[in-house]
């Protein structure tokens, strides 16, 4: 009996994991239909997460506007998307130079996008600037720069595009934030302050624009990390190991966050946290907060 249990249990776990994997793949394909022909603006599209969001939404048939502050990297992303795209099912992305920390140019970018497409259906506000260090050693100038990139830039772009959504009585704004918008971490004062401010703004905005059928969503992962498993295409066993590895690692992988952003758009979710049990518990339990802060600040 004991030997049978030892043999059956791994097979059972493998079967359940396989079903979960299949469910996620089906859900991912279903999500894509929600963005077909939609005008989708993605800021900081040249970051790891931005690239994955661009890939997911481009494959889904969205009319992409990819924003970033480096033209060569935008062009590289453009070439990567076009090289694997089906021209009959996808649209050519529009590239726009945008540095959200330069507030003076944000209004012009919004006008350029609206002049091109006439509307914006979905805004993925993804840009983020990070800094780590003791509060007394972070200059006020750097504090201001972090606030410009993580708070004033995103809300300036949102305010510029929002009247179009309100007048059309449709649209969705997705803020990709961080759990540090809810949870204070040592040596992240400037970053956490900007994320708290952004989350507060978009939480309030959600209540303001609900009557106009404009959806405001926030997606808050832990830190975003990469994994080192790179299985060959068609290797189902390696793909399962990659799936397990992504789920067991502490941070969120860009692929997982991008797919969650897509699900958030399809289901019109309001608030999403992507965190393993320890950081998730810290957001609601003061007794576990210090332990989690020590882990995250390591």
CA distance 178 to 283: 12
13 falls within a domain? no
Inside any domain, residue 158:
yes
Residue 101 per-residue DSSP state: T
- Residue closest to 44 by CA, chosen among 140, 175, 159: 175
Q: Per the domain annotation, does 51 fall within a domain?
A: yes
Rounded to whole angstroms, the Cα distance separating 159 from 213 reads: 16
Q: Residue 246's domain spans which residues?
A: 35-296
Q: How far apart are CA 298 and CA 283, in angstroms?
A: 18
Q: Share the mean pLDDT of the chain.
A: 83
pTM for this model (two decimals): 0.79
The C-alpha atoms of residue 261 and residue 3 are separated, in whole angstroms, by: 44
Residue 14 domain-assigned? no
> Does residue 267 sit within a domain?
yes
User: What's the rounded Cα separation, in Å, for the pair 228 and 205?
Assistant: 39
Could you tell me the CA-to-CA distances from 56 to 45, 166, 209 in Å, in that order? Answer: 12, 26, 27
Catalytic residue (one of 23, 117, 191, 250):
191
Q: What is the pLDDT of residues 106-150, one digit of tens each?
A: 999 999 999 999 999 999 999 888 888 899 999 999 999 999 999
| Domain count of the fold of the chain | 1
- In angstroms, how far is the first alpha carbon of the chain from the final one? 46
Residue 152 has pLDDT above 90, yes or no: yes
Phi, psi (deg, nearest 5) at residue 120: -130, 125
| Helix, strand, or coil (residue 62) | coil
pLDDT score of 186? 86
Q: Does residue 29 lie in a domain region?
A: no
250-296 pLDDT, tens digit each: 577 889 899 999 999 999 999 998 866 555 665 665 554 444 454 44
- CATH for 248: 3.40.50.720
- How many angstroms separate the CA atoms of 39 and 74, rounded? 18
Residue 185 binned pLDDT confidence (cut-offs 50, 70, 90): confident
DSSP 22-35: HHHHHHHHHHHGGG
- Among 26-35, 97-106, 252-261, the range scoring the smallest mean pLDDT is 26-35
Do the strands 122-125 and 94-97 form a parallel or antiparallel pair, or are they unpaired? Answer: unpaired
Residue 26 is predicted with a pLDDT of 57
Q: How confident is the model at residue 103 (pLDDT cuts 50, 70, 90)?
A: very high
Distance of CA 276 to the CA centre of its chain: 17
Q: Determine, yes or no, domain membership for 27.
A: no
Residues 230-262: tens digit of each pLDDT = 444 555 555 655 555 555 545 778 898 999 999
Taken in order 80, 272, 220, 204, the sign of the CA dihedral is: positive
Stretch among 167-176, 192-201, 220-229, 252-261 having the lowest mean pLDDT: 220-229
Rounded Cα distance, 7 and 200, in Å: 51
Give the mean model confidence (pLDDT) for residues 221-231. 60
The string of pLDDT tens digits covering residues 153-173 is 999 999 999 999 999 999 999
Residue found under tokens 């726009």: 96
Question: Helices 254-267 and 48-59, interaxial angle, to 10°?
Answer: 50
Q: Which residue has the higher pLDDT, 121 or 182?
A: 121
In Å, what is the CA distance from 284 to each residue of 131, 152, 216, 277, 281? 25, 28, 23, 11, 5
pLDDT-derived band at 228 (thresholds 50, 70, 90) equals: very low
Mean pLDDT score, 217-231: 69
117 belongs to the catalytic site: no
Does 262 fall in a domain?
Answer: yes
């Amino acid at each position: 009996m004991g030997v049978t249990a030892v043999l059956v249990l791994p097979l059972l776990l493998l079967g359940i994991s396989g079903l979960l994997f299949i469910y996620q793949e089906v859900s991912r394909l279903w999500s894509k239909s929600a963005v077909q022909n939609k005008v989708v603006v993605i800021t900081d599209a040249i970051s790891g997460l931005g690239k994955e969001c661009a890939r997911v939404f481009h494959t889904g048939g969205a009319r992409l506007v990819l924003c970033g502050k480096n033209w060569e990297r935008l062009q590289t992303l453009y070439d990567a998307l076009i090289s694997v795209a089906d021209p009959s099912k996808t649209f050519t992305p529009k590239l726009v130079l945008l540095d959200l920390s330069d507030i003076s140019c944000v209004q012009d970018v919004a006008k350029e996008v609206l002049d091109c497409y006439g509307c914006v259906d979905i805004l993925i506000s993804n840009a983020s600037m990070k800094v780590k260090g003791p509060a007394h050693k972070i200059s006020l100038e750097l504090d201001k720069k972090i606030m410009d990139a993580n708070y004033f830039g995103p809300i300036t772009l949102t305010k510029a595009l929002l009247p179009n959504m309100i007048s059309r009585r449709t649209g969705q704004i997705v803020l990709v934030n961080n759990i540090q918008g809810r949870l204070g971490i040592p040596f992240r004062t400037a970053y956490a302050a900007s994320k708290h401010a952004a989350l507060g703004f978009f939480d309030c905005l959600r209540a303001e624009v609900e009557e106009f059928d404009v959806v405001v969503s926030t997606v808050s992962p832990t830190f975003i990390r990469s994994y080192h498993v790179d299985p060959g295409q068609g290797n189902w066993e390696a793909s399962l190991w990659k799936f397990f590895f992504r789920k067991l690692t502490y941070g969120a992988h860009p692929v997982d966050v991008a797919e969650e952003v897509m699900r958030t758009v399809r289901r019109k979710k309001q608030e999403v946290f992507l965190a393993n049990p320890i950081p998730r518990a810290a957001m609601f339990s003061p007794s576990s907060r210090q332990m989690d802060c020590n882990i995250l600040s390591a």
